[in-house]
């Protein structure tokens, strides 16, 4: 069950360090060099911490290992550390991801709920996480089922329904918060016959995930680190103005991706 997590952690170069760490009310942030990583702040901390150290200057790979912790504050730090490496603009560009120089560009083609509307016509679609605008974008064109644990809306399914819905789905969209909850490996096993997209700002843009049954990664890369830090500290709006959505498909790059770009 831990293979997916170990592959993500081991893909981070040993020399990378966690240069800045911030745990906010709703988001957790880690910076490593030019890379920023986001994760949800889940304040489920009843389990003891796994790491003996989690501070700026430590090896990024060591902090990333916290994603395996059942202390979810620590797991959030681990996922943010993973994203600080994989979601860095230079690495994404080396994978062939188009990222405009402008800071604030909304590329609709990078949003899977917009870009996949033609693909899902008449198909059975399951979305884990009630994302905004699903009722307008997906519900009219497909046979939509939504699984939502935290804030269910009318018509949503409980997470237990995944065992019944996912094996019968043509397309599955899974929120990246499932990495923190440790439910992602199970969902991927259930959705083996579907085309799976991992989606959300905390999605690691790591090609190694294609080896585990993901077809598309739909995440986020940071362009304005100062704005992001203020947002995480609650001094501005959300993180959405600090970067842009990005996507990468399994048929665009090999599962291990290109080598990391050299440090400037």
CATH assignment at residue 46: 3.30.390.100
Greater pLDDT, 114 or 107: 114
The yes-or-no verdict on residue 264 having pLDDT over 50 is no
Task: Provide the number of structural domains found in the chain.
Answer: 2
- Note down the domain range covering 67: 3-91
Question: Do 111 and 25 share a domain, yes or no?
Answer: no
pLDDT confidence of residue 237: 65
> Is 28 contained in some domain?
yes
> Is 163 contained in some domain?
yes
Greater pLDDT, 45 or 154: 154
pLDDT digits 0-9 by tens, 178-229: 999 999 999 999 999 999 999 999 999 999 999 999 999 999 999 999 999 9
pLDDT confidence of residue 239: 66
> Is 12 contained in some domain?
yes
Question: Do 110 and 20 share a domain, yes or no?
Answer: no
Question: Do 135 and 200 share a domain, yes or no?
Answer: yes
Q: Is 150 exposed, middle or buried (0-12, 13-18, 19+ CB in 10 A)?
A: exposed
- Taking the alpha carbons of 205, 207, 211, 213 in that order, is the dihedral positive or negative? positive
pLDDT confidence of residue 258: 44
> Phi first, then psi: what are they for 199, rounded to 5°?
-135, 145
Residues 6+ apart with CB under 8 A from 38: 27, 28, 29, 80, 83, 201, 202, 220, 222, 228, 239
User: Among residues 59, 55, 60, which one has the least CA distance to residue 81?
Assistant: 60
Question: Do 115 and 215 share a domain, yes or no?
Answer: yes
Spatial separation of the C-alpha atoms in residues 107 and 238, rounded to whole Å: 18
pLDDT confidence of residue 104: 61
> Is 96 contained in some domain?
no
Question: Do 169 and 39 share a domain, yes or no?
Answer: no
pLDDT digits 0-9 by tens, 44-101: 777 888 888 889 999 999 999 999 999 999 999 999 999 999 999 999 999 889 888 7
Asked whether 235 and 24 are in contact (CB, 8 A), the reply is no
Question: Do 15 and 144 share a domain, yes or no?
Answer: no
What is the arithmetic mean of pLDDT over 114-139?
A: 96
pLDDT confidence of residue 54: 85
> Is 50 contained in some domain?
yes
> Is 212 contained in some domain?
yes
Question: Do 145 and 203 share a domain, yes or no?
Answer: yes
What is the arithmetic mean of pLDDT over 18-27?
A: 95
> Is 264 contained in some domain?
no
> Is 42 contained in some domain?
yes
Question: Do 114 and 187 share a domain, yes or no?
Answer: yes
pLDDT digits 0-9 by tens, 224-256: 999 999 999 988 666 667 899 999 999 987 554
CATH assignment at residue 158: 3.40.50.11590
């Amino acid at each position: 069950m831990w293979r997916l997590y170990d592959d993500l952690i081991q893909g981070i170069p040993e020399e990378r360090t966690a240069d800045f760490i911030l745990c906010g009310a709703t988001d957790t942030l880690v910076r490593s060099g030019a890379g920023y990583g986001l994760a949800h702040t889940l304040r489920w901390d009843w389990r003891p911490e796994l790491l003996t150290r989690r501070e700026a200057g430590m090896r990024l790979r060591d902090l990333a290992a916290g994603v395996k912790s059942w202390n979810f504050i620590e797991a959030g730090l681990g996922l943010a550390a993973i994203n600080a490496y994989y979601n860095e603009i230079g690495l994404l560009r080396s994978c062939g991801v188009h990222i405009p120089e402008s800071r604030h560009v909304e590329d609709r083609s990078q949003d899977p709920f917009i870009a996949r509307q033609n693909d899902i016509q008449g198909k059975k679609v399951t979305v884990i996480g009630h994302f905004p605008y699903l009722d307008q974008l997906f519900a009219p064109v497909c046979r939509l089922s939504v699984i939502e644990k935290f804030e269910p809306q009318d018509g949503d399914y409980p997470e237990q329904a995944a065992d019944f819905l996912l094996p019968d789905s043509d397309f599955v969209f899974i929120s990246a918060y499932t990495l923190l909850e440790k439910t992602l490996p199970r969902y991927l096993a259930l959705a083996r016959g579907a085309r799976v997209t991992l989606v959300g700002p905390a999605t690691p843009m790591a090609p190694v995930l294609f080896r585990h049954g993901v077809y598309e990664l739909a995440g986020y890369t940071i362009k304005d680190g100062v704005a992001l830090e203020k947002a995480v500290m609650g001094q501005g709006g959300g993180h959405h103005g600090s970067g842009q959505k990005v996507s990468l498909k399994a048929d665009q790059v090999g599962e291990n991706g290109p080598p990391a770009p050299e440090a400037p």
